Amino acid sequence: MNNAQSHCSCCQQDGMEPFAELDQAIDLYRDKEGNLIQILHIAQELYGHLSLELQEYIATALNKPLSEVSGVVTFYSFFSTTPRGEHTIRVCLGTACYVRGGKKIVDALQKTLGVDIGGTTEDGKFTFEVARCIGACGLAPAMMIDDVVYKQVNINKLDAILSQY
């Protein structure tokens, strides 16, 4: 007495295909409590940022409301919803770096790169962020580009540092 088809065909939609690699991670964590954050981490690792489409894909796979997924994504500063640059610059604004001139570096970089904190340069090269202490207080003021720490930075050294990338 029923000829209904199965519902929810969204996973097969064209826009969803590119995220197929994530399925393994989703399967791995499917029934674990607090799995959303783990999966979001892996998704960001794989695709660079958590676009709306990617969040929709995850919400569908985990059978959670999209607003809940987005709620977690926008809560944690580690997650990014916009494409990130090739390299990430993190200027330390921990207490030691702050008093030794970290803020000046931030101001100078904002001008040089032409982006605000959290922004990505137009050429897609750098994403600019600040960090709250990177544990290198002896090297203050410090900044990182990807995994490399630059010590005792001052605004005159910035061009030389950036030109390496």
Partner 1 sequence: MKHITINGKAYEVEDGLTIIEAAKRNGIQIPSLCYLEGVHEFGSCRICVVEVEGAKTLVPSCMTKVSEGMVIHTNSERVRRARKVLYELLLSDHSKDCLSCKRNQSCELQALGKQLGVEATRFEGSRSECVIDMSTSITRDMSKCILCRRCVTACNEVQGVGVINAQNRGFKTVIGPAMELPLGTVNCAFCGQCTVVCPVGALKETDSIQAVWEAINDKNKRVIVQTAPAIRVAIGEEFGNEPGSRVTGKLAAALRRLGFDDVFDTNFTADLTILEEGTELLSRVKSALTGGEAVLPMITSCSPGWIKYVEHTYPDSLAHLSTCKSPHTMLGALAKSYYAGKIHREPKDIFVVSIMPCTAKKSEIIRPEMTNDGLPNVDAVLTTRELANMIKEMGIDFNSLPDEEFDNPLGMSTGAADIFGLTGGVMEAALRTVYELVTGRELPFDGLHVTPIVGLDQVKEAAVTIEHPLPDYAFLDNVTVRVAVTSGLSGAHQLMERVADGTSPYHFIEVMGCPGGCIMGGGQPRSDDPDVRTKRLRGLYTEDEAKVMRKSHENPYIKALYAEYLEHPNGHKSHELLHTHYVRRGQFNELTQERFDLGVRSVEKKRDTIAAQAAAEAVAKAESKAHEELESVRVLALEAENTRLKAELADVTETVGFFKSVIADYASRDR
Question: What is the per-residue burial (b if ≥16 Cβ within 10 Å, else e) of 132-160?
Answer: eebebeebbbbbbbeeeebeebeeeebee
One-letter amino acid of 29: Y
State which residue, 78 or 107, has the beta carbon closest to partner 1: 78
Residues 6+ apart with CB under 8 A from 35: 29, 62
**Binding flag, residue 78, partner 1 (CB under 8 A):** no
> With CB under 8 A as the contact rule, which of the stretches 23-31, 92-100, 131-139, 157-165 interacts with partner 1?
23-31
- Assess 52 for contact with partner 1 (CB under 8 A): yes
Interacting stretch for partner 1, rule CB under 8 A, among 77-85, 94-102, 103-111, 151-159?
A: 77-85
Nearest CB to partner 1, comparing residues 28 and 117: 28
Of 126, 137, 127, 129, the C-alpha closest to 90 is: 129
Under the criterion CB under 8 A, does residue 123 sit at the interface with partner 1? yes
Query: Site size for partner 1, by CB under 8 A?
Result: 47
- What is the C-alpha to C-alpha distance for residues 5 and 15, in angstroms, rounded to an integer? 22
Give the binding range for partner 1 (CB under 8 A) out of 4-12, 104-112, 127-135, 148-156. 4-12
User: Residue 118, Cα to own-chain centre: how many angstroms?
Assistant: 9
Structure tokens at 86: 């090739």
Rule CB under 8 A: is residue 164 a binding residue for partner 1? no
Contact of 60 with 23, CB cutoff 8 Å? no
124 binds partner 1 (CB under 8 A): yes
Q: Applying CB under 8 A, which residues contact partner 1?
A: 1-10, 13, 15, 18, 21, 24-25, 28, 42, 45-48, 51-52, 55-56, 60, 64-71, 74-77, 81-83, 86, 120, 122-124
